[in-house]
């Protein structure tokens, strides 16, 4: 055996240890460290006082965040890096902290069970866990913030991708707090928006619409989209919805959307869809996440959706990238 064969592979060791770096970022987001630093640079001691930290490990933690490019340090004082200031400070347009907090609470723990899910085919997060979450208002709020965090970086490309003015009534199925339709009705004075989601989400939706000043123009429809008909609309959005279900359930939802659309309307779907010939690592990770947290969900090929849409009666199916990993598919219903 050669000496080279005995040497550890640096990239394999780094990959095996990557969960530590991830946890450092998630913990900093949970502590709201970056929002605290918005007021200006702070020392290690000042941060311990503001964040309620004991002091043990804090210096190494802060130095690690510096090495990861999230903080800078000068003269013993720490400040946010430009990327952290843009994406990790609460209230900023590009804020991702809601998603990161949700990832730490909900996604990070279940990834430890990937071996069992691959062996058994069963998720680590059971359906009754989601039902229990819906009965806890605090957990519902955390879930809603996480969904907003997932949507936030996609809002601008979504708003630019479609001629929204051509659709007077837009329905966001599984739209949670209504962030997308709120933005749409602000931009388009003649548009009315609708959100269809589970009844437990209506309180957080109402708060969001009141804050956005659009409560009179956006309507919440409570229901279960597998048992209740969708309200009629000119454009229906399935954003990060279809990947929660298996192919048969996706077919049912696509047909339900076709039935609810007015002639000349369209179905807009966006997910981290898979390209079987060249799947992206991020999308494969997203698909495995769905295996860990849903009974039968997973990312799916664009062509599968196109076939379902044509079988449901849609006249034309168009696709385009929404960002580096996300795909948008627009399915037109004949006039």
pLDDT (tens digit per residue) in 47-57: 999 999 999 99
Q: Which of 1.10.357.10, 1.10.10.10, 1.20.140.10, 3.40.50.1220 would CATH assign to domain 3-95?
A: 1.10.10.10
Instruction: For residue 226, give the 3-state DSSP assignment.
Output: coil
Residue pointed to by tokens 């849409």: 309
Kindly report, as residue ranges, where domains of CATH 3.40.50.150 are found in the chain.
99-332
Q: What is the pLDDT of residue 106?
A: 85
Kindly report, as residue ranges, where domains of CATH 1.10.10.10 are found in the chain.
3-95
Active site residues: 243
Weakest-pLDDT range from 26-35, 51-60, 90-99, 255-264: 90-99
Whole-model pTM? Answer: 0.89
pLDDT (tens digit per residue) in 216-268: 999 999 999 999 999 999 999 999 999 999 999 999 999 999 999 999 999 99
Mean pLDDT of all residues in 265-277 = 96
Among 166, 171, 159, 147, residue whose Cα is nearest residue 259: 171
Among 272, 282, 207, 278, residue whose Cα is nearest residue 243: 272
Q: Measure the CA–CA gap between 255 and 261, rounded to whole angstroms.
A: 10
Domain 99-332 top-level CATH class: alpha beta
Strand residue runs (E) in the chain = 42-43, 71-74, 77-80, 169-173, 192-197, 218-222, 233-239, 261-271, 316-321, 327-332
Q: Number of C-alpha atoms within 13 angstroms, CB side, residue 325?
A: 16
């Amino acid at each position: 055996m050669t000496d080279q064969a005995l040497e550890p592979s640096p990239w394999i060791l780094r990959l095996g240890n990557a969960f530590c770096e991830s946890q450092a970022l998630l913990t900093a987001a949970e502590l709201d460290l970056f929002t605290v630093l918005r007021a200006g640079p702070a020392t290690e001691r000042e941060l311990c006082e503001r964040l309620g930290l004991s002091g043990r490990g804090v210096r190494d933690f802060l130095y690690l965040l510096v090495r990861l490019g999230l903080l800078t340090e000068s003269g013993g004082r720490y400040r946010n890096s430009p990327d952290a200031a843009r994406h990790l400070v609460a209230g900023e347009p590009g804020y991702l902290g809601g998603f990161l907090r949700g990832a730490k609470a909900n996604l990070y723990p279940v990834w430890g069970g990937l071996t069992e899910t691959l062996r058994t085919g069963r998720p680590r997060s059971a359906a009754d866990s989601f039902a229990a979450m819906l009965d806890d208002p605090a957990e519902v709020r955390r879930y809603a913030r996480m969904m907003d965090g997932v949507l936030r970086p996609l809002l601008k490309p979504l708003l630019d991708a479609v001629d929204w003015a051509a659709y007077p009534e837009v329905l966001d199925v599984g739209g949670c707090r209504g962030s997308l339709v709120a933005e749409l009705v602000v931009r388009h004075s003649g548009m009315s928006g609708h959100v269809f989601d589970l009844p437990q989400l209506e309180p957080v939706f109402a708060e969001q619409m009141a804050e956005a000043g659009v409560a009179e123009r956006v309507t919440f429809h409570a229901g279960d989209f597998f048992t209740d008909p969708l309200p009629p609309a000119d454009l229906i959005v399935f954003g990060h919805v279809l990947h929660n279900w298996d192919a048969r359930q996706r077919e049912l939802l696509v047909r339900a959307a076709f039935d609810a659309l007015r002639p000349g309307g369209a179905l807009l779907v966006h997910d981290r869809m898979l390209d079987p010939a060249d799947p992206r690592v991020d999308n494969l990770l997203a698909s495995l996440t769905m295996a860990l947290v849903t009974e039968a969900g997973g990312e799916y090929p664009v062509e599968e959706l196109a076939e379902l849409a044509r079988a449901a009666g849609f006249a034309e199916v168009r696709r385009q990238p929404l960002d580096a990993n996300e795909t948008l598919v627009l399915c037109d219903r004949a006039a």
